[in-house]
Amino acid sequence: MKPSDLEDTLQRLGFTENSIVEIIMLTKNPDGTNNLAPMGVIKKDDHLEVRPFTTSHTYSNLTQNNIASLNITDDPFLFLKTAFKHEIETETIISELSFEGSDATIIAEKTEENTFSSSQASVILRPKRVVIHNDSPTVYTRGRAMAIEAIIHATRVPVY
């Protein structure tokens, strides 16, 4: 995919400059099994930034393997079962670097790694390919949901 096509596709999916969107990242564990983890991702210029905790499997996997996939979904159950994978016993069907229920998958390559804080790294990912799995995928952003909640709340506040 040409860089301009990738940029257009990311924009259509809902990525905007310097905004955080929520995805489910798939990385490979050293034994070849899959690791799924909800993660915020920030679009900056022609790359994406994630900030995993340095104690996480995701971070460890990214230090050993430069390929990851960012899976787009707005399904709360997928976020729940990947965030609490040890408490919720359900099978996730995985094909290559995407999983069942994902609306789109961005295959990305790690190009840089820096320290973000004492507990988090900043990992720069360069999108290489986007695979669309359904007709109208859109990223989930908490900012959009919070804006709607703020508007609704404002209608309930008495005017002084």
pLDDT (tens digit, 9 = 90+) per residue, 42-61? 999 999 999 999 999 999 99
Chain mean pLDDT for the chain: 88
The b/e string for 63-84 (b: 16+ C-beta within 10 A; e otherwise) is: eeeebbbbbbbeeeebbebbee
pLDDT for res 147: 82
Alpha-carbon distance of 46 to 126, in angstroms, equals 7
This prediction has a pTM of 0.84
Q: Are 21 and 92 in contact (CB under 8 A)?
A: no
pLDDT for res 85: 79
77 vs 122, more confident = 122
Q: What is the mean pLDDT of residues 4-20?
A: 89
Token pair in block for residue 15: 């990525």
Q: What is the mean pLDDT of residues 8-22?
A: 91
User: For the chain, which residues make up each domain, given as ranges?
Assistant: 3-154
Q: Which fold has domain 3-154?
A: Pnp Oxidase; Chain A (2.30.110)
81 vs 124, more confident = 124
133-153 per-position pLDDT tens digit: 888 787 887 777 788 888 888
Q: What is the mean pLDDT of residues 62-85?
A: 90
